[in-house]
Amino acid sequence: MKLARNLDNFEISAISHIFALVRDLRAEGHEIVDLCVGEPDFDTPDYIKDAADAAARAGDTKYTVIDGTADLKQAICRKLARENDLVFDPSEISVGAGAKTVLHTSLSVLTDPGDEVVLLTPAWGSYAEMLGMLQARKVLVRGEAGNGFKVTPDALRAALNDTTKAVILNAPSNPAGVTYSRSEYEALAEVLQDFPHVWVISDEIYEHTLYTDDPYVSFLNAAPDFRHCTITINGVSKAYAMTGWRIGWASAPAEVILQMRKIISNSTSSPCSVSQAAAIAALDGPKDMLLARNETYRARRDMLVQALSDISGLKVVNPGGAFYLYLDCGDLLGKTHPKAGKLNTSFDIVKALLEHHGLAVVHGAAFSHDPAFRISYAA
């Protein structure tokens, strides 16, 4: 039986591979501390659950508009105006079954086979695999630990050319918690101005998990002239502990939204009706719990940074946001573990931590940036 040749261009996510190893070890009776998953350990707030319950009991259980109800799109527009000082019309909003789905649809609209898309590494693993699905080419631009994993304008410029279709930005980032200030975004935008054919996809799903003194800056806040060529991705999963509700959205030019609707109508169709009602409650509801939860993440980050900084062989970069630490482990390569043997790669280190110490973390190859591994303190 022959399957599609393009399947060789992408893999099951590396994080899923670690999940499988954790599952197998637990089935064998091993106790594992799992610091892999990027999922808040808080529960969805009750007022959001209540809105979902009310919607279900009112019979709001049918298909909705393909890319989100009018009420949810209006709530997203209110959120963008209130929290990000950005004015969008509902015709410029597309809602899907999670931010990942919306991101994949956005890339499907933008890219043809062979197009280049720039990823700033370390980068969330699914970016690269989505490009493989679409037969687009990833171009990696490395952010170094010594610069807080931030990519410099010169490094970005060196990666851009006539075949570049898009650049994916992600701040605060998964896996390194990288944040960009307004001036840093402006410097990147100055480079992009010389390449007017290039789109920007700004993944802002972690905007509410921020530890800097300055307020959150969306890419379009710093570069409003890019509104015609920017797709901003967001959702309720991380901020409101709603990962299982599967609601994400894109804000983009209306022409892009129209083309996204074409794809959605023939693939996922409408997102869950009850989840959309819950998302409206989340966006329009109280925000006090966001601040309280953020302080919990900050305390976890501070504890881990202090403790891990004392471990020889690890380089710790203090993240400005999200809920991950990305640890440079290059100084451990070539060393020998008493039970696991020689540690030649970051995966060897991660495997030794899992099998011999009961600790699950994710190796740097999953994020196109080695040698390193990621710890999630959302767990």
- Residue where one domain finishes, among candidates 263, 284, 305: 284
In a domain, 278, yes or no: yes
| Residues 166 and 249 occupy one common structural domain | yes
Reported residue count of the chain is 379
Q: How many domains does the chain have?
A: 2
Two structure tokens written together for 44: 């969805």
CATH of the domain at 18: 3.90.1150.10
**CB-based contacts of 240, cutoff 8 Å, min separation 6:** 44, 45, 48, 282, 290
- pLDDT at position 93: 98
| Residues 75 and 144 occupy one common structural domain | yes
In a domain, 329, yes or no: yes
- Residue where one domain finishes, among candidates 284, 303, 331: 284
| Residues 144 and 175 occupy one common structural domain | yes
In a domain, 48, yes or no: no
| Residues 203 and 352 occupy one common structural domain | no
- pLDDT at position 107: 98
Instruction: Outline where the chain has alpha helix (H).
Output: 14-27, 46-57, 70-84, 99-110, 125-133, 153-159, 182-192, 219-222, 254-265, 273-284, 288-308, 346-357
| Residues 144 and 225 occupy one common structural domain | yes
| Residues 177 and 276 occupy one common structural domain | yes
- pLDDT at position 13: 78
In a domain, 77, yes or no: yes
- Residue where one domain finishes, among candidates 256, 284, 312: 284
- pLDDT at position 124: 97
| Residues 228 and 299 occupy one common structural domain | no
325 forms beta bridges with 375
- pLDDT at position 139: 98
| Residues 239 and 205 occupy one common structural domain | yes
Confidence (pTM): 0.96
In a domain, 268, yes or no: yes
Q: Do 192 and 337 form a contact (C-beta atoms < 8 A)?
A: no
Domain span including residue 351: 5-42+288-376
Taking 70 as the pLDDT cut, the residues of the chain under it are: none
- pLDDT at position 86: 98
In a domain, 56, yes or no: no
| Residues 78 and 210 occupy one common structural domain | yes
| Residues 277 and 305 occupy one common structural domain | no
CATH of the domain at 221: 3.40.640.10
| Residues 147 and 203 occupy one common structural domain | yes
